Amino acid sequence: MENKKKYSIYLIILLTFTFQIGILKSQTHPDFTIIKQVPASPVKSQGRTGTCWSYATTSFIESEALRQGKGLFDLSEMYVVRNTYSSKAKKYVRLQGTNNFSEGGQAHDVLNEVRIHGLVPEEMYKGLDYGSTQHNHSEMVSILDGMLKGLLKGKTRSISWLPSFNSILDNYLGENPKDFKYKGKTYTPQSFAKNVVGFNPDDYVELSSYQDYPYYKQFDLEVPDNWSHDLYYNLPMHELMQVMDYALNNGFSVDWDGDVSEIDFNSKAGTAVLSMKESDGIIINGLDKMRLKTFDNLSTTDDHLMHLTGIAKDKNGTIFYLTKNSWGANSNLFGGYLYMSKWYVQLKTIAILVHKNAIPKDIKKKLGIK
């Protein structure tokens, strides 16, 4: 029995090592050398949906499970998306249509739903009950949006609107599983998240950097997809960069929210860099001042969430961040990964999500995080 146990442990280690070698090979870019890398699950595709926030954050959770020795998981992004649509609709109706209702979201949306609804494996909830093999929410969202707008035209509303709204979600994405079997045992989504994946949403914090708000305090990040008005800790940008570097150098990954509208963001080429004009602007005006300017003039917008899993350098020694995207492994020649330059990340980051232990102690103390 003891020999079988040792063999099983050896097999898991071997398979994990083989998996990571394969992933590393697929991410290799001829212009870069990876100098630090955090284990991550395979790249997936969000299809024709605005659900990058769920894909990036679910990938982040899968890396956290690997970091904590829980194993490799393929978790359902659409299970979280389905529950978020419902939460978002309730907020939209209660605020009489003045709040945002769209496909977009933020990293904390995943954390907020996991607290209530837990997690499920991909095999238990694929979110494709509408007869497609690829995700596309355009029809569903059109129906949901039309229903909510029609609902708000009435002077009163019945108690039936939310069950009716949820029935549309059930028909397109599938009903929420109450329990399921995983490796021979029965779990609820909540017990699976806690006892199998080992994920505690309260261990994670969101950080941002805008000089219009007091540093080392929390603030309501004013982007439409922060529909829940969750709070972010505010840091000077040089310290936010310290958090990212410290995290990646100490085995933690980073859930990244930022702008991908720049002409030099090139997924096919696997790179995201800044033009010389923008780099010069940072040098002349200062990084924090330039960040606020581009945020207010909408040249930096809340476009996309991705998963930072490593640090690399180019042939000139410039630092880049190995970035796992959710546009599919075949979206480029590098397994769906791209390399974002430090210049790009400094200017185009909107916010990040990290484990609280991924924050350097001196910065954590300034923020009052224990």
pLDDT value of position 26 = 59
Element (H, E) at 187: strand 185-187
Nearest 5°: CA angle at 83, between 49 and 183? 95
pLDDT tens-digit readout, 305-359: 999 999 999 999 999 999 999 999 999 999 999 999 999 999 999 999 999 999 9
Q: Which residues are bridge partners to 353 per DSSP?
A: 206, 255
pLDDT tens-digit readout, 124-178: 999 999 999 999 999 999 999 999 999 999 989 999 999 999 999 999 999 999 9
**Residue closest to 79 by CA, chosen among 30, 33, 116:** 116
DSSP-assigned letter for residue 136: B
Output the CA torsion 65→71→77→81 (10° steps): -50
CB 75 within 8 A of CB 98: no
pLDDT tens-digit readout, 40-73: 999 999 999 999 999 999 999 999 999 999 999 9
Report the 10 Å Cβ neighbour count for 65: 20
Which residues 6+ apart lie within 8 Å of 51 measured at CB?
A: 77, 78, 81, 103, 105, 135, 137
> Residue 208: phi, psi to the nearest 5?
-140, -175
Kindly write down the DSSP assignment for every residue of 91-134, as one continuous string.
HHHHTTT-S--SS---HHHHHHHHHHH---BGGG----TTS-SS
pLDDT at 17 over 60: no
Q: What angle separates helix 237-249 from helix 287-296, to the nearest 10 degrees?
A: 100
pLDDT at 16 over 70: no
CA distances from 181 to 120, 123, 178, 188, 192 (A): 10, 11, 11, 9, 10
Give SS3 for 24.
helix
- Distance between CA atoms of 352 and 337, rounded to whole angstroms? 18
Give SS3 for 354.
strand
- Distance between CA atoms of 207 and 221, rounded to whole angstroms? 10
Fold of 2-367: Cathepsin B; Chain A (3.90.70)
User: Could you state, in order of their start, the residue ranges of all structural domains in the chain?
Assistant: 2-367
> Looking at 325-365, which runs of residues are DSSP E strands?
337-341, 349-355
Give SS3 for 235.
coil
CB 325 within 8 A of CB 338: yes
Judge if pTM exceeds 0.75: yes
